[in-house]
Structure formats: C-alpha cells, structure tokens
Amino acid sequence: MERIVEANGIRLWCETFGDPAGPALLLVMGLGARGTTWPDEFCRLLQEGGRYVIRYDNRDTGLSSGVDFEAKPYTMIDLAQDAVGLLDGLGIAVADVVGASMGGMIAQEIALEHADRLRSLTVIMSSAEPLDPVTNTFRGAQRDPRLAAWDAEQIANPPSTREEHVEAHLKLARILTGRLTAFDEAATRAIIEREIESAAGAAPASKNHILAAFASRDRSGLVGSITAPTLVIHGTDDPMAPIAHGEALAAAIPNSEFLPIEGMGHGFPAPALPRISAAILRHTGR
C-alpha cells in the first residue's frame, strides 16, 4: 500500500507490506536511492516472516519532498527525524530499524537520538565514520581506484541527457557489484530508469545527500552508547564502504552481532537476500 505522510515539515512517500498489527520494520535506504531500491523479494521475505514492512523515499528522493539545500541545509540527524516523523504519521510507536549505506548512517542517528523509538538496529554496508569531502570516502579508507576514475569521469563529462544519466549509473552499479553474482545489466537498467522517471531523478538527490553527509557529525565515538540490540551486515567485496568499516562498527556497539556476506559488494544481490532476510528476522524476533 502506497501513501504520502506529512512528517517533519515535508511530505514522505512510503509503501507498506503485511499486516499493520505485526511488528513494524522500517527500511531506510541510502544516498540518492528510492525506497523501491529495497528489492521486492527482500520485502516479501520479511513480510512472510510476519513483519509489517515499510520502505520510503528520503527527502530529495523519488516522490518525497525536494529541499533547497542551500537555503535549508540538513544532516543525518534531520533525516533521522524524518524517519521518526514517518513512524508518527503511520501511528507506529516503535519499530525495528534497518538501514543500508547512508541509510545505515541515518539508522545509527535514530538509535542515538530516538532510542525509545526502535526495538532493534540493523546496519547494512555502512560506517560510523564521517564522509571526507576531500577524498569523497569514509575517513580512514582509500578511495577504490575504480570509483575514483568514475568520479573523475563525471566531473570531466557530466551527464546531461537521460540516457547519459542511465549509462553513468550503470557504470557505477557495475563497479559496486561483488563476486557473489554476475552483473545483471538489464535488471539494473530497469531500476535506474524507474528511479529517474519517478521524479526529478537521482542526480539532485545524490548531490544533496552527499552535502548532508559531509555536514554530518562523526559518530565513531558515539555509537558505543547505542543500547538497542544491533546486527551489522557487510559484504566482503564492498568497494564503497570496505568491510573494515562494518567490522569497526560492530566492535564499537556493545553486544552487537557481525555478519559478513562473502562476495557481496555494495548492493543487494539476489543470492544473498534469503540469508540477509533470515538474519534480520532472527535478530528482530529475539
């Protein structure tokens, strides 16, 4: 079921799966990506596990409100407040929160700033480290040379047409794919085209989300205070957020569990979905 919720002074698009009477599970997506980037199959597996699944578009993404970042800058804390406002609008007092990539950063802020609103925390392919505006990567990590080359290409020849945007994002998706599965160009192209056509496209969202990440605080010295039961999931082949970041996050949060996924890059390959969803269902069912 799709709906628009007024939250934190903006409009947020969301889609829900399952019985609203079941335990709520909020999926928080990452930089520039729509909520529909959470795979349908993944949502189905969680729903079949008895969860009331919610995926949504962050501000500046998809069908949610766009923001003039220069006039109204924001950080991960504001995006966390959006998520809490969405729960308010849906009449949900507490939820299991699952965040991927930048969504994992938002999820950490929910756990830090709104501890009473989540039952558990799951962080996938993310980090507690701040994003370095010089290297455009997490502090302490070297930029993968393939990503550095992609960045340089976007600066030298920024895409201007719809097809150029699609091709640029296809190149990025290919880089982010790990060894676990072959790159599915047709399926990936369909997802990218759907996101670009759904609203203004991913480019403005990516730009504003990057600025928000640069403006956000360093959480590495703060996550040790998280008391929510925490599961950290990370792919061994992640070029965007190397697995050391997931290991460090799990080590910093007391009593957390760390689950490495061999061969997974920065994404959700189909072969990994049953294992990831089963781990989340087990974690949230404790």
Of residues 120, 238, 245, 256, which has the active-site annotation?
238
Of the pLDDT bands very low, low, confident and very high (cuts 50, 70, 90), residue 197 is confident
Host domain of residue 24: 2-284
Torsion, Cα of 125, 9, 195, 271 (10° steps): 30
Task: Tell me how far apart the alpha carbons of residues 11 and 74 are, in angstroms, rounded to a whole number.
Answer: 16
Residue 202 pLDDT: 41
Which own/partner contact pairs does 18-21 have at CB distance under 8 Å and 24+ positions apart? 18/46, 18/47, 18/50, 18/51, 18/52, 18/53, 19/50, 19/52, 20/52, 21/52
The pTM for the full model equals 0.94
- Residue pLDDT, tens place only, 99-158: 999 999 999 999 999 999 999 999 999 999 988 777 777 877 778 999 989 989 988 998
Q: Is 237 labeled as catalytic in the residue annotation?
A: no
Of residues 165, 209, 266, 283, which has the active-site annotation?
266
Of residues 64, 65, 101, 127, which has the active-site annotation?
101
CATH of the domain at 138: 3.40.50.1820
Q: Is 96 labeled as catalytic in the residue annotation?
A: no
| Element (DSSP H or E) covering residue 164 | helix 162-176
Sheet holding 2-7, edge to edge: 2-7, 10-17, 52-56, 24-28, 95-100, 118-124, 230-235, 257-261
State the total domains in the chain. Answer: 1
- Residue pLDDT, tens place only, 6-34: 998 999 999 999 999 999 999 999 998 89
Q: Is 238 labeled as catalytic in the residue annotation?
A: yes
- Residue pLDDT, tens place only, 245-277: 999 999 999 999 999 999 999 999 999 999 999
Instruction: Tokens for 229, please give them.
Output: 């039961």
Nearest to 243 by CA among 142, 126, 105: 126
